[in-house]
Amino acid sequence: MNHWLVYHSQKTMGHSYASLAEHAVYSKIEQRKLCFGDWIWVVEGSTDIPTRYTLVDCFRYSDTAYPPFLGPYNGFAVHVIGTESRLAAPVPLDMVDDWQTHIRDRFLTKQRFFVNLSAEPQVVAGLQAQLAEPAATAAPAPDTASAA
């Protein structure tokens, strides 16, 4: 299973990622190495100057659609679809942590829109840390105050 970073530029696309109302991304290039179950991480760039970046979605790839697509997606090659977001809420990226500046410097400012992160373990770890915490599995500590 791989992790992919997808950049959604509001300036380029003319709309927000949220306006899609689905957990999905489009690509102008067919992503032949993408496999069902892969993680898709979506970072959105605002129209502000300077650009503000937000982690807006994380989903597992579960379906694909092919053209024709309508509206701003006319001319795109593939529609990559997931079923549910793994994020509790969008996460503003303040570009302070190393993994965030690495994303910005290596991918976002270079307009790399669909990137395999298999060679970027520090980025994957930083992204995964943004997911809602899993349920606690450890046994609770014994209550020594009420022990007889």
Residue 74 pLDDT greater than 80, yes or no: yes
Amino acid at 51: T
pLDDT confidence band for 112 (50 / 70 / 90): confident
- Return the pLDDT at 147: 40
In order of start, what are the domains of the chain with their CATH numbers? 3-128 (3.10.590)
Give the residue-averaged pLDDT of 77-83.
95
Residue 93 pLDDT greater than 80, yes or no: yes
Element (H, E) at 58: strand 53-65
pTM of the model: 0.85
Query: How far, in Å, CA of 56 to CA of 92, rounded?
Result: 8
- Return the pLDDT at 117: 96
Residue 145 pLDDT greater than 60, yes or no: no
Give the residue-averaged pLDDT of 23-51.
94
Query: How far, in Å, CA of 106 to CA of 38, rounded?
Result: 21
Q: What is the DSSP string of 77-104?
A: -EEEEESS-S-SS-EEE-S-SHHHHHHI
Per-chain mean pLDDT for the chain:
87
Percentage above 70 pLDDT, the chain:
89
